[in-house]
Every structure is written in structure tokens, then in C-alpha cells.
Amino acid sequence: MFDAQLRLDNERDVSRGVLVDLPKREVRIRKWSGNTIVLPLSRKNVEWIEERVKEGGRLVFAMAWVGRSRRNRAVALYVALVFRREVTQMTPKRLLVVDFNALHNGVVWAVVEERRVLEKGVLRPHIAKIIRLQREAARLDSLCAQRGAICSRAASTKSRLWRLLRRWEDEAAKKVVRLALQYKAAIVADVPLDESMRELKEGNYAAERKIFLNFGRLRSRIRELAEWHGVAYREERLYSTLCPLCGGKMKEEPDRRVKCRCGFEAHRDEVPIHWAVKRFKELTPSFSNLILAATKSI
């Protein structure tokens, strides 16, 4: 971890630590020995930094580490920049419920007001393309032991898969937080129990679909963006198999539908929305005065 400084013009240089020089589009790491490591900044990274500055962010520190590239497994130096800003938390009038599921089933969201749902939708990545890339990567991996030249193609395919998922996660997180800001809503995330997800990963779940169980980064991105913009975020267990009307255990029906003896029936992924409507008054007041500052990193 290093002290960090952001240069927006021709101001004085730093003697040690990390200097982010936007005019020159580079990051310079000053070592204690006096030597300097210079890393170029891509256009997208420059734009990202400029956006954080416009939002009132301040570069507070940087982290550097050595790792292997996802593309070709070559050793590379990575740097993460962490910005912080003071924010005034938005006072929520509604709830934005986000139900995390295996990604091929989709991440269901809904804007909830007292006694009603204003809007809802589903976020889902490009399932067919992800499965195709996974199968291609597995095929190339099996050939890698026989022909070394295939290994780089396998690594490149995995890198494409990783970038595809990362882009979708970033866009999905931005959409959720934009909706929260638009509706002045606090985000309530329904996250499956760790034990349930572990059982699925270790069980007979289709190998090519296990990648869809990894929604941890999406969850983190939504939480980070919410904090950065002053949107209250909370994780709350909102049951999908217990009836929101009578609390009884519901019966599983075809096509992921559930039905209760009391007459309630819905798609399993939308049951948490009904729970949020029922618990609206209980959930909403608990968000007051939670967030004073937020961090953002690349």
C-alpha cells in the first residue's frame, strides 16, 4: 500500500509513493531506492479517474501487487487506486429489492412502495455466449497438455469469458444504483445462504452452469456503487419458499413457480418482492444515517 497523489496539471511531483499523472497519462511508482516504475494509463482509465474527480472524489491511497495476466499468464504489475469522498445519504422513500440467484435464472429487481410494486425487471448476462466460451476453453484445456501452443488460446478464451462477465456485472450494478437514485430508494439485497450455494457448487449442478453461481463480484459492485452515491444498502433474508401471506412452506411447481395451501402462488424469484411489500415499514426506517463516506477502486 502506498501514499498516492493525483496530478491534474503541472504541480509539484511527489518524492515517494504513487503519482497518477493525468496530463502524461501514466502512473509512476517511486521506490525507496529512488528508482521509478512507470505504467501507462489507458483512455478508459483516464476517463474513469476524471469522472471520480468530477464527483468530488479524492485519491487517498494506492495498492500495487504482482500477479499473472488472465490473457497469457505472464507476470504483470497491477495497481489499484482508491478514491474517497464525503457523501450525504439520500433519505429513502421506497425500496429497491434485488434478489440474487444463479445468474442464468436472472437477478430479479423491483421498486417497492408501501403496498405496491412500481416497476420490476430481470438482469441476465448473455447465457449462450458464456456457455459457448466455457465449452471452448474446456476443449482447449484438454488439448493443452498435448500441444503447448494451444495453451495460449485456452488462456485467451478464459480471458474473454472473464471480461464478458465483468462488463455485464459493471453495467448491471450501474443500472441498479441508477434505479435507486431515480426512485429515491434504499437497496435491499436478498442473498442466498452460503450453505445453500456451497451445496449447489459441490453437488450435481451442471459443470458448465456453476459459473453462474458466482455473483459475489456483482454483489460487491452494487454495494460499492451504492455507498459511493449515498444510497443506503442492506442485505436482508427475504424468503422465496415461505409464503408471504401465511408464512407456510410452499410447494415447488414446474417452471420455478411456488404455491401455498392458502392460495398464494407466484414465480419463486418474485416471492422476495412480496415479502418486501409486507415488511415495507419495518425495512425502510432502518436505513437512516448509515453512510458518511465511500470508497471506489480500480
Longest CA–CA span in the chain (Å) reads 74
In sequence order, what are the beta bridge partners of 249?
A: 242
The CATH number for 94-124+164-238+279-297, chosen from 3.30.2130, 3.30.420, 3.10.450, 3.40.50, is 3.30.420
What are the domain boundaries of the chain?
2-86, 94-124+164-238+279-297
C-alpha dihedral, 82 to 296 to 11 to 37, nearest 10°: 40
In sequence order, the 6+-apart residues with CB closer than 8 A to the CB of 277 are 112, 114, 115, 116, 117, 244
C-alpha dihedral, 57 to 58 to 64 to 69, nearest 10°: 20
Q: How far is 130 from 212, CA to CA, in rounded Å? A: 9
Instruction: Return the pLDDT at 297.
Output: 46
DSSP the chain: -EEEEEESSSPPPPSSEEEEETTTTEEEEE-TTS-EEEEEPPHHHHHHHHHHHHTT-EEEEEEEEEEE-TTT--EEEEEEEEEEEE-PPP--SEEEEEE---TTT-EEEEEEETTEEEEEEEE---HHHHHHHHHHHHHHHHHHTT-TTHHHHHHHHHHHHHHHHHHHHHHHHHHHHHHHHHHTEEEEEE---HHHHHHHHHTT--GGGGGGG--HHHHHHHHHHHHHTT--EEE----SSB-TTT-PBPEEEGGGEEE-TTS-EEEGGGHHHHHHHHTHHHHGGGGTT--SEEEEE-
Q: How far is 44 from 46, CA to CA, in rounded Å? A: 5
Q: How many CA atoms lie within 13 A of 269 on its CB side?
A: 19
Indicate the residue type of 249: K
Question: Cα 279 to chain center, whole Å?
Answer: 26
Q: How many CA atoms lie within 13 A of 89 on its CB side?
A: 20
C-alpha cell of residue 56: 468530488
Give pLDDT tens digits along the chain (298 positions): 556 677 665 555 555 578 888 889 998 887 666 678 888 999 999 998 999 899 888 888 888 778 776 665 667 788 888 888 888 888 899 999 999 988 888 999 999 998 899 999 999 999 999 999 998 988 888 888 766 678 888 888 988 999 999 999 999 999 999 999 999 999 999 987 766 667 666 676 676 777 888 888 999 999 999 999 999 999 998 989 999 999 999 999 999 999 999 999 999 999 999 999 999 988 886 544 444 444 444 3
- Evaluate whether 294 touches 87 at the Cβ level (below 8 Å): yes
Give the predicted TM-score (pTM) of the model: 0.82
CB atoms under 10 Å from CB of 258, counted, come to 21
